[in-house]
Amino acid sequence: MEEASQVSNLFFSPPIAGLHMFIALAIVIFSWLLIQRFNQRNKKGPKTWPIIGATIEQLKNYDRMHDWLAEYLAKSKTITVSMPSTTYTYIADPANVEHVLKTNFTNYPKGELYRSYMDVLLGDGIFNADGELWRKQRKTASFEFASKNLRDFSANVFREYALKLSDILCEASTDNRVIDMQDLFMRMTLDSICKVGFGVEIGTLSPDLPDNSFAQAFDAANMIVTLRFIDPLWRMKRFLHIGSEALLAQSIKVVDEFTYRMIRKRKEEIEQARACGIKDKIKHDILSRFIELGDDPESSFSNDKSLRDVVLNFVIAGRDTTATTLSWFIYMIVTHPTVAEKLYDELKAFEKERANEEKIQVVSYDVNDPKSFRDRISSFARLLNYDSLGRLVYLHACITETLRLYPAVPQDPKGILEDDVLPDGTKLRAGGMVTYVPYSMGRMEYNWGPDATSFRPERWFNDGALQIVSPFKFTAFQAGPRICLGKDSAYLQMKMTLAILCRFYKFMLVPNHPVKYRMMTILSMAHGLKLHVSRSM
């Protein structure tokens, strides 16, 4: 007994007990790694580590994350990326996308996690809202976008600002000055959405191109909230008011000052019009419509904070998405001269045909005479309206092909309310996130064939007519109940602008200028789009 006791004491002495704890811990970790390895075989995606998940690989590839995801999705239509806060399932198969965006729509809201990242910028706006609040905003917005008055007004505004942009390019072509086309498009679309959506002129596209603190702060805020998706320390930085979160707070302050000032101005104008009994003077822009809804105390839009959220959501929808698509379009035209020539031929033929219909003589012009050149452009612009732009089918195909490869919203995450199974058999856990990836989907051979990565507008024609593709395959405008309400308006502005620019100007990329995207919710260019521009016959 004594010897047994001594052995027992020796076995359970502190060094031996510590060794046993170490062995037990090693077994637990080894078992966990085996499980992860097993899961890795069943859920394709990057390597996952204890606690931190795939954070290291995501951070290493942050600046090229859309291409990083595309590389994995080319091997598997569904991949899983584990992060410290949640697990993301990325999907590129149209059948899975339809299930998430339509078939089981109610199970995939924006979700609390996504809202926590974006709330500081988008608040309870339509891009960030779920449930009844989202339905109310969508119902109001859909009514406005369906209005013929708004459509006709928008066409006039888009023509006006396209001509202002043309004037700036005309001046730049005189001395072969380098221009940043993305910056000019951002200015044009910001001015346009503020006039169409909110009834105000802000003048960022003035000839002197003034600095705009709102636009700069909005872009900074957009980049920082995107970083939150993979930054596990953002809440701590926000609490301590340091680093990126300190800059975010400064940016939001500037954004809010501009937005609340705009809201107060519109409210004052509406009150003045009512006081004078002049209802015709009350503008019927989108903001005014929401202000009118706010007259009802029970309305969700009875305070300035809710109106602020409406404004900022429409800014990101009407400014950023259109401007980035226009930028990628010009880059595609510059790098694909054969496509550019076909487009130019279509525009010249269109001009001749429309002039004959309107019984207008097409007067020759001198590209070296700015007045003669501008007069011809103005004459051409008058031929452009909602109906006539529909004839420019090759232009439409070029825009759509640009959106296929460079969708304005490159990925769109959704929350998961309840456990579910996708059509391909992938199991989804409640509380996680599922993300469909338009950027990757447009590059997948299993979606678009062996030339998926090629810019080829001809793919959009079938027997000479534009073909309609399922929105669950071509997801640039989302699909299902949340399909983009502004799709027609976006095409209208892009066609109006590009018809004028591509008919009368030639663009050349500045040598060695790097063209790459930057990580934001919108697929903008990291270094802008630096070009030389020249006038064309």
Sign of CA dihedral 244, 246, 249, 254: negative
Hey, which residues does 508 pair with through a beta bridge? 532
**Alpha-carbon distance 171 to 98, whole Å?**
48
Name the DSSP class of 510.
Answer: P
Report the candidate in 399, 403, 402, 393 with the shortest Cα–Cα distance to residue 347: 393
Q: What gap in Å lies between CA 82 and CA 249, rounded to an integer?
A: 29
Q: Tokens in use for 12? A: 């359970």
Task: State yes or no: 194 annotated in a binding site.
Answer: no
CA-wise closest residue to 503 among 162, 191, 185, 209: 162
Rounded Cα distance, 408 and 175, in Å = 33
Q: Which of 259, 258, 288 is nearest to 273 (CA)?
A: 288
What is the SS3 assignment for 206?
coil
Q: What is the DSSP track for 370-384? A: HHHHHHHHHHHHTT-
Separation of alpha carbons 154 and 189, rounded Å: 12
118, 123, 219, 273, 316 from 252: Cα distances, Å: 12, 12, 10, 32, 14
Q: Which residue type does 377 have?
A: I
Instruction: Please report, as a single letter, which amino acid is at residue 417.
Output: L
Burial class (CB in 10 A: 0-12, 13-18, 19+), 420: middle
Q: Which residue has 């809710």 as its token pair? A: 306
Cβ–Cβ < 8 Å for 517, 66: yes
CB 333 within 8 A of CB 340: yes
DSSP state of 468: P
Q: Which residues are annotated as part of the binding site?
A: 484
Q: Which residues are annotated as part of the binding site for heme?
A: 484
